[in-house]
Structure 1
């Protein structure tokens, strides 16, 4: 959103690069090689011949050879090396696909009106999907809130009944009540749901700042992929963000807190911690003081602060003092969403956006990541993309391939955060010495207006956003996801890894088997490419008689890969990964914070 407008509306409300303590040499001495077989279970050791589920969850295979032992019937799926009921299988072999989700609006600034909040639901199972919604423990009628779109079109077509196999719907979750009083801030900051849409709920009050709220709960009878968009509506919403929602089966009791970005004059970093069971005690060991909020008692840095949450409740902490790197533990499984009320990236630049991503649990963090971002907005592959790394353990050593990016860390300690910049097309691999020294990595798009000094202007193209980079250990081999058709630019970024020494074809429904792969680094373990799904407000790339467009996307391969959507328009952007596994990659716990 334009900062001048933001100031006019009167709605204004750190991660410091660590010193490089030591440099990792270019040889690989001391760094444990990571098994690239990408077994769907938690193991990263040398493969054996036990039975396990295939990457797509449709078969039982031998781990050492990939030979199919049994193909599951259509009404079942593989979970725990058995063919079982699909929701049970999804819970057993955890990924971003699931049947039970909790999530909430990422709105963190109380002065802003509640805009249109929507979810993209993709049926990833082999049977029609029925869904239900509840809020604060009460059922919510969704019979009139589901809509379809055709490829490349933003026209909404109402949908009733189950979601067909392989199809998707948009579920409109909430909007501001018509009875809420309006003022000048609404004219500049409010985005209503599209005409003809009746959302499932209407917000009656302003929410934001530190406090406690109620999450939506979405349940299905078979696995789905779920992403949420706020506000819905593309460029005209000005401050949009989107995120992949992770199912309850992937939650855990240990987390490292990740905020969206540092504070600026436009807004503050925030966190939302969600419980799915009553009497869930959450303990935060904060790196900085937690400020008091509405019904929330703060705490001193370095001292455990305890909070009790009920089923479907979330704790929201919004303050200028960033808490990234703090430890969160809970007596029952929880999840966290990192965000920002309106982040300027960098903090000196104009045109802020809401930031929000659901942060994987600590045990799902990885030790190896590939950094590569969207198609450059002005054609320069060296367009600076901020990357952020958060470390979980003391003595975390990092090495890079092909070379260390300027400002990137080579040694980090527990809870430390470092931000550096690398060209969007200057792909690299970062890895630590072993899986017990995991890291979190995020990529950012900068604001479109710059600051007139060091931050470049992009003439209104795009705006701040951040996205989880999927660790290599969490790659899958099939994804179904939805590209918002209200955005004029959509860049799909695909990274593939070798499986047993070979790259496998990656198939995209609108393109067939993808070609034009580029190597990442010098080791030959990863390749990447991009596909335009939309460009200059029109359709994307052509492949023979087929044209790629926004809307539902389906991808598959025999090998592991990851796919991330980046969409932007005038002073607006969003990004989210198309999916990810939720394998337990880290064995040693964080330890008690009491």
Structure 2
């Protein structure tokens, strides 16, 4: 039965592989059993399965609603494919209260993963404005990966092996890096339920629902090596609160100003760790349907003379979405891991 206060049973997790060209060979070694279905052979945990995809063809699995998680699975193709993953109903808290949200992300190729990341927390939703404890998931690619954090993050892993998944949480912005560019890894950020201690700050306006701001979300973190200097992005007009998280990297010994079309030059920058290489800030576009300056939801432009990253967050009563506004999608390493 669904947990009390929710409208659906948690899950299922799902993954989808999309072919671009005919005759695409796909090798898959999952970390959880992917069961067979009509016209589709299964792929068992830690065993190699091989498929062929045509242009526009899709392989898709939904996992049974249990604790099995295919995170850390290994995929290799001889032609370009897209990998989408998600959860039909992600529920991070066991308490019998409302909460839960669908999540879906497109995964980066290993070649586009970084060996260094900067994680900046989203704007706090707490009513007392205290920093939120933000959840993260990190996934290893190469055995013997060693990680260092600035500042130190208690509970975060210091080593990773191929396919290893680790979860941790912190209130701080941080930088994490491996020993070199031949040891890439993946990092994702999660938003928890709106059932926060003491309640949430203003921002939710949905009629007939409690004013509890945001809900479960999962968003990939892009490495600074993929930062751009210009983003054209869209904010959803059906969400009454829109917030941007902006992270800028030092270039030629200085931080360049960052501007957003309706806000002008951004302020409120905070350092990330002690390295003096990155700063971050959070800004509202609109909150509780009240525009900030001349801002409205819709099309926006952010620009700088230096590299920066931008994550868009939209929130309402027990509802949220987030996505990176863009990235270079450049090849950062020639690391290839062969499924066996």
CA distance in 2, matches of 1:346, 1:392: 28
C-alpha distance in 2 between matches for 1:420 and 1:334: 30
Greater radius of gyration (CA): 1
- Counterpart of 2:185 (choices 439, 455, 473) is 439
Structure 1 partner of 2:176: 430
In 2: Cα distance, 1:457 partner to 1:504 partner: 37
- Contact 1:3-1:352 at 8 Å conserved across structures: no
> Is 1:274–2:33 an aligned residue pair?
no
TM-score relative to the length of structure 1: 0.52
Distance 1:523 1:427, change over 3 A: same
Deviation at 1:493, TM superposition (A): 0.5
Aligned to 1:562: 309
Q: Given the alignment, which residue of 142, 149, 167 partners 1:419?
A: 167
1:382-393 matches, cutoff 5 A: 382-393=131-142
2: CA distance, partners of 1:295 / 1:355: 27
**Deviation for aligned residue 1:347:** 5.5
Cα contact 1:464–1:573 (8 A) shared by 2: yes
Residue 6 of structure 1 deviates from its aligned partner by: 4.5
Q: Distance in 2 between matches of 1:355 and 1:440?
A: 17
Matching residue of 1:395:
144
Q: Secondary structure at the match of 1:473?
A: helix
Structure 2 residue 222 is matched with structure 1 residue 470: yes
5+ unaligned residues in a row in structure 2: which ranges? 201-210
- Give the conservation status (yes or no) of the 8 Å contact 1:462–1:569: yes
1:291 matches 2:43: no
Match of 1:582 in 2: 329
Q: Distance in 1 between matches of 2:166 and 2:47?
A: 23
User: C-alpha separation between the residues in 2 aligned to 1:433 and 1:314?
Assistant: 37
Q: Is 1:492–1:531's contact at 8 Å kept on the other side of the alignment?
A: yes
1:302 is displaced (CA, Å) by: 1.9
Q: What is the TM-score of this pair, normalised by structure 2? A: 0.90
Count of matched residue positions in the alignment of Structure 1 and Structure 2: 324
Q: Assess if the C-alpha contact under 8 Å between 2:110 and 2:335 holds in 1.
A: no
Measure, in 1, the Cα distance between the counterparts of 2:198 and 2:36. 37
Cα distance change of structure 1 residues 345 and 293 upon mapping to structure 2, 3 Å threshold: same
Q: Deviations over 1:511-553 (max 9, x none)?
A: 222222111111100011111011122112x3xxxx2332111
541, 547, 550: which one aligns with 2:297: 550
**Secondary structure of the corresponding residue to residue 332 of structure 1:** coil
Matches of residues 11-30 of structure 1 in structure 2 within 5 Å? Answer: 12=9
Which of 526, 533, 539 is the equivalent residue of 2:285? 533
Unpaired runs of 5+ in structure 1?
Answer: 13-265
Match of 1:310 in 2: 54
TM superposition shift of 1:346? 3.7
How far residue 5 of structure 1 moved from its aligned partner, in angstroms, is: 6.1
Closer/same/farther in 2, CA of residues 456 and 271 from structure 1, 3 Å limit: farther
Residues 1:494 and 2:242 are matched in the alignment:
no
Greater than 6 Å deviation, 4+ residue runs: none
